[in-house]
Every structure is written in C-alpha cells, then in structure tokens.
C-alpha cells in the first residue's frame, strides 16, 4: 500500500493506494471509529464492490444508500433523499459517510457530508480512474442543477481516500482511457519527466499492469496535492488544473454532453492548448505533436472533428465560468511540465489553433 499525505493543516488527510484495499479491514480501521457509517454508492458499483467493503467493515454499524447510475443523478433529488436518510436515522454528528464509486457518487456524497449538520466526516473510496486521480482529492463537492453543472457545492475535504486500483479493471475501457487523459494532463502542467514516463510505459498502461496503475495514481495525486496545497480554494495556481479544459468544455457543451466523455474532450483540448502555446511563441515546437502521439497510442481522440466549426467553439468559450471580469483566461504551456495562465490570446489565434488540430 502506498500512502500520500495531503497537507492542509487541520484538514490534512492520507490517500491510500493499492490493489485490493477495499476488502482489507486494515485499510479502513484507522479512519472509522465506532460511530455509524453510511455507504453511498450506485447500482453499477454496488454489486461489484459493496460486499467487499461490507466484509471489511464487519462489526461496524453500517447502512447503505444506493443511487441510480449516471451524471444526471448528481442532483437535488438524490441529495434530498440522502439527507432524508440521515435525518430519519437521527444520524449523529460523528457519522461517517463513505463514497464508494466514481466522481458522481463522490461529489454528491461529499456535498451531503458538507451540508448535513454543517459538515460531517466522509471517506472517498473512488472506483474510477478519474475519481482516483482527480475528483476524490482536493475537497470540491457539488451537485448539478438544470442551469448548469456543479453550480451548487462546497469545499469539504475527506478524512481519507482509499483508492483500490484493482477496481479499475472492471471499468468500461472508454472510461479508463478518459481517466488517462487527466493523468497525462499532470505531466503536461507539472512534470516533463512524467510525460517521459507515460511515453515509456504505454504498453503497461494499456495492459493495466498493477505497478503501472499504482504509479499513475500515486504521481497524479502528488501533483494534484501540490497544486491544491498551494491554493485550496482556487484563487490562483489551482487554475492550471484546467489545462485543456476550456477547449474541452466547449466541445462537450457544443455536442450536448453526448459525444465525448469528459476526459476525451480534455484530450483534444490539451492538443489544441499546446498547439496555441506553440503558435503564440510561448512554447518550443514539438510538444503538441508528442501529446497527440501519446494520446493516440492510449486510444484517445486528438483532433477537432470536421463537423464542428471553430467559431462555434469560440462562442462557447466566451461563456466559460473561469473567465474573470470579461477577460478570457486560458491555461497554456511555456515548457513541457510548466503551465501559465494567459489572457492575451486573440480570437484569431484561437481559431487558427482549433483549425490546425483537424484530422
């Protein structure tokens, strides 16, 4: 088992990473006392992993709340139902919530933990690659409302993260690959050496070798912890985690969230952002090509499709909630592993970069 400490003063917590952790009572013991536990999961994950977790928590007072599957379930109704369950059971203030599932379960469970009695303990047990390398670490919790995604939420750090890398083997392959895009993102913005490592381990990643999985989860969590530790509430440097995301969100919005998984859209977005960095003269030529080659080898998309017009994407970018005071902010690169926040890219630069990324 590998352990990474997220240093956030009195909100610090460990992330434990390893094969088979969900079934291991020793992985849970330091984080659960004698107080009641409520496991929040969904209909897909429950049959796969709930028995193992219940086995590891034998002897504890455990209840389970199972949601339907899907992003649409990260909503008021499930938040209300979960809070209702806590209220009906008179859940005391020392109750521990456990989020067993992907980012949807983690965000909703985390938001319920943040709001019940103004905040109770919760443990993240992420079962998707995206949740292990991104959503479970950093303390952002949220639900979606009809007006937009993640518009209602809170910062609330977990008491621990238990990331069982064996769970990744049951993921739909597309979900796994989409998570790899966020992994590569950390190399692009934080560490050129990690880009090299990924490039050298493409076969091991495609084969989901246990050591390779543990390595990417550990390194990604370390990079995210560094960034979040410097800026817990996203007032500055945390913005670099959005590398590839402005273009990615434009693609997701334009296609009604139907065509791309988030990580797939981010993959294309990273190639566009690197291309723009190069054409603006901020980054030496070569990295955009290299990122695209790595992503293709991992089975990720890398081009802006022919049926989507660049001006339409630009229009979506103007509405991005990361923009401040009407200024468009983009995360670009000044070197492999080094991100910068840019406010000076003109529409024409962006349109040219989008069109340069056609097949």
Kindly list the residues in this chain that would bind ligand NAD in the complex (CB under 6 A).
42, 44-45, 48, 69, 71, 74, 101-105, 107, 127-128, 130-131, 134-135, 138, 140, 150, 167, 170-171, 175
| Long-range pairs of 86-92 with CB within 8 A, sequence gap ≥ 24 | 86/38, 86/112, 86/116, 89/36, 89/38, 89/63, 91/36, 91/38, 91/116, 91/120, 92/35, 92/36
Q: Which is nearer to ligand NAD, 134 or 342 (CB)?
A: 134
Q: What string of DSSP letters covers 136-180?
A: TSS-EEEEEETTEEEEEEEE---SEEEEEGGGGGGS-HHHHHHHH
Q: Which is nearer to ligand NAD, 190 or 353 (CB)?
A: 190
CB of 154 to ligand NAD, least distance (A): 11
CB of 142 to ligand NAD, least distance (A): 7
Structure tokens at 82: 């979960």
CB of 41 to ligand NAD, least distance (A): 9
| Those residues with Cβ within 8 angstroms of residue 164's Cβ, 6 or more apart along the chain or in another chain | 18, 19, 20, 21, 22, 49, 125, 127
CB of 135 to ligand NAD, least distance (A): 3
- Going by the DSSP 8-state scheme, the letter that residue 19 receives in this structure is T
Whole-angstrom Cα distance, residue 253 to residue 272? 17
Residues designated catalytic: 118, 140, 182, 224, 234, 238, 242, 245, 249, 262
Q: Which is nearer to ligand NAD, 170 or 334 (CB)?
A: 170
CB of 355 to ligand NAD, least distance (A): 29
Whole-angstrom Cα distance, residue 107 to residue 104? 5
Q: Which is nearer to ligand NAD, 36 or 179 (CB)?
A: 179
Give Cα 208 to chain centroid, integer Å: 19
Whole-angstrom Cα distance, residue 162 to residue 164? 6
With vertex at residue 206, the alpha carbon angle to CA 221 and CA 51, rounded to the nearest 5 degrees, is 65
Q: Which is nearer to ligand NAD, 128 or 220 (CB)?
A: 128
Structure tokens at 3: 């352990």
**At 251, which helix (H) or strand (E)?**
helix 245-254
According to DSSP, the β-strands at 62-67 and 96-101 are unpaired
Q: Which is nearer to ligand NAD, 63 or 69 (CB)?
A: 69
CB of 31 to ligand NAD, least distance (A): 19
């Amino acid at each position: 088992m590998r352990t990474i400490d997220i240093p956030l003063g009195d909100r610090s917590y460990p992330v434990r990473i390893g094969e088979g952790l969900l079934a291991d009572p020793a992985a849970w013991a330091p984080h659960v006392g004698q107080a009641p536990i409520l496991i929040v999961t969904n209909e897909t994950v429950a049959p796969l992993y709930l028995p193992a977790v219940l086995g590891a928590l034998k002897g504890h007072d455990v209840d389970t709340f199972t949601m339907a599957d899907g992003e649409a379930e990260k909503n008021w109704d499930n938040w209300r139902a979960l809070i209702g369950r806590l209220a009906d059971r008179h859940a005391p203030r020392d109750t521990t919530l456990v989020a067993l599932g992907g980012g949807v379960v983690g965000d909703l469970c985390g938001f319920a933990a943040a709001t019940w009695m103004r905040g109770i303990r919760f443990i993240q047990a992420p079962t998707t690659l995206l949740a292990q390398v991104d959503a479970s670490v950093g303390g952002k919790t949220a639900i979606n409302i009809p007006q937009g995604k993640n518009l209602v939420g809170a910062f609330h750090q977990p008491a621990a993260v238990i990331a069982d890398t064996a769970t990744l083997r049951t993921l739909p392959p597309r979900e796994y690959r989409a998570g790899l895009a966020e992994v590569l993102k950390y190399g692009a913005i934080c560490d050129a050496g990690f880009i090299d490592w990924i490039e050298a381990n493409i076969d091991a990643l495609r084969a989901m070798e246990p050591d390779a999985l543990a390595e990417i989860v550990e390194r990604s969590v370390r990079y995210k912890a560094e960034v979040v530790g410097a800026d817990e509430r996203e007032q500055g440097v945390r913005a670099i985690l959005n590398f590839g995301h402005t273009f990615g969100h434009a693609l997701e919005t334009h296609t009604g969230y139907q065509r791309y998984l988030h990580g797939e859209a981010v993959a294309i977005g990273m190639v566009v952002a690197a291309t723009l960095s190069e054409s603006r003269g901020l980054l030496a030529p070569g990295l955009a090509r290299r990122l695209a080659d790595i992503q293709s080898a991992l089975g990720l998309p890398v081009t802006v499709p022919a049926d989507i017009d660049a001006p339409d994407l630009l229009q979506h970018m103007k509405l991005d909630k990361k923009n401040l005071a009407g200024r468009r902010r983009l995360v670009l690169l000044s070197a492999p592993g080094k991100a910068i926040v840019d406010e000076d890219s003109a529409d024409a630069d962006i349109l040219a970069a989008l069109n340069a990324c056609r097949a």
